């Protein structure tokens, strides 16, 4: 990587010492993560079922039912404003049928990301909250954007910063320092590439490939900080939703959250009505609660 004069890289710590370049191999880092058992077993179990071409909804119900926390969360999401049902769903079977393979997998991944948030301290918890806000935004917007696969977008939004969550666990001190000094932006991505040899988006995308998420979701996560081309509405939606999510965790008022989406440079690519952003800002808190529990 070529460094420009006056670049913030290489970065110095608060004490004046240089934060060294570690230059990890990305796959070696993922091997370390696998050995640590970062992902809860319930997430792996749901992945195995949803990857199987022969899996049935009964298989999925059986896999979910083993874990009482996941069972409760699936029922909660199925009865949430996301689905707008007039009658309450009271059985796991009906809830799984309502969410489908992708929706149930998304709920399992939300639990997994929540578990990682408890391991990585305050910054990891903030990342989890932002992921929930981003996922809720994509879930509300996706039906209004042409060519968007709502289920895939929801899953990708939940784990779009998975790489940062993982780095907070395996390279905690360096990652916390980078986040505190640089914030959550493209400058952070450049710094990660210098210090680790890869960035958090690349780590997250490759991890999702290894753990069996569909390639479109893995590719979207791996490239979510890359420049956007006019036809890349999925990536544009994720970047806008992430920007909206940032406002949510910073305590923005509903009108400010709406303006974050409406005034975003990429918003014209989505071609959604301006008033939709106001509706979204009002609905976000309830949808976030339904996802995070």
Mean pLDDT over 88-92 rounds to: 91
Share of the chain above pLDDT 70, in %: 89
Q: What is the pLDDT of residues 199-255, one digit of tens each?
A: 999 999 999 888 877 888 899 999 999 888 878 999 999 999 999 999 988 889 999
Residue 138 or residue 47, greater confidence: 138
Give the separation between CA 87 and CA 85, rounded to whole angstroms. Answer: 6
**CATH fit for domain 26-292, picks 3.40.50.720, 3.40.50.970, 1.10.3210.10, 3.50.50.60:** 1.10.3210.10
Mean pLDDT, rounded, of the chain: 84
Confidence of residue 14 (pLDDT cuts 50, 70, 90): very low
Name the packing angle between helices 274-292 and 254-262 (round to 10°): 120
Range with top average pLDDT, 8-12, 45-49, 104-108, 222-226: 222-226
Mean pLDDT over 99-128 rounds to: 78
Range with top average pLDDT, 140-144, 148-152, 255-259: 255-259
Asked if pLDDT for residue 137 goes beyond 70, the answer is yes
Give the separation between CA 156 and CA 158, rounded to whole angstroms. Answer: 5
Asked if pLDDT for residue 158 goes beyond 90, the answer is no
Mean pLDDT over 132-158 rounds to: 89
Share of the chain above pLDDT 90, in %: 36
Q: What is the pLDDT of residues 21-76, one digit of tens each?
A: 555 689 899 998 888 877 777 788 888 888 888 989 999 999 999 988 889 888 98
Mean pLDDT over 95-105 rounds to: 86
Confidence of residue 293 (pLDDT cuts 50, 70, 90): low
Residue 253 or residue 125, greater confidence: 253
Confidence of residue 2 (pLDDT cuts 50, 70, 90): very low
């Amino acid at each position: 990587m070529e460094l420009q004069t006056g670049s913030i890289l290489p970065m110095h710590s608060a004490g004046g010492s240089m934060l060294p370049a570690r230059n990890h191999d990305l796959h070696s880092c993922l091997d370390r993560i696998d050995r640590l058992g970062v992902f809860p077993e319930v997430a792996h179990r749901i992945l195995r079922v949803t990857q199987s071409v022969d899996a049935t909804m009964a298989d999925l119900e059986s896999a979910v039912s083993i874990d009482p926390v996941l069972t409760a969360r699936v029922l909660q999401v199925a009865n949430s404003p996301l689905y707008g049902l007039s009658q309450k769903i009271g059985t796991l079977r009906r809830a799984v049928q309502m969410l489908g393979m992708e929706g149930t997998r998304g709920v399992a991944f939300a639990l997994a990301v929540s578990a990682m948030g408890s391991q990585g301290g305050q910054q990891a918890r903030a990342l989890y909250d932002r992921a929930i806000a981003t996922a809720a935004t994509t879930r509300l917007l996706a039906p209004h954007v042409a060519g968007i696969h709502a289920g895939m977008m929801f899953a990708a939004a939940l784990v779009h910063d998975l790489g940062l969550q993982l780095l907070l666990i395996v390279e905690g001190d360096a990652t916390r320092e980078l986040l505190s000094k640089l914030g959550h932006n493209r400058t952070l991505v450049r710094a990660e590439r210098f210090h680790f040899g890869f960035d958090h988006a690349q780590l997250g995308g490759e991890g999702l490939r290894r753990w069996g998420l569909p390639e479109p979701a893995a590719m979207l996560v791996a490239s979510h900080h890359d420049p956007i081309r006019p036809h890349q509405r999925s990536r544009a939606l994720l970047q806008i939703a992430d920007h909206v999510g940032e406002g949510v965790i910073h305590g923005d008022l509903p009108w400010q959250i709406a303006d974050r989406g409406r005034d975003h440079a990429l918003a014209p690519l989505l071609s959604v009505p301006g008033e939709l952003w106001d509706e979204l800002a009002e609905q976000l808190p309830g949808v976030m609660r339904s996802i995070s529990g």
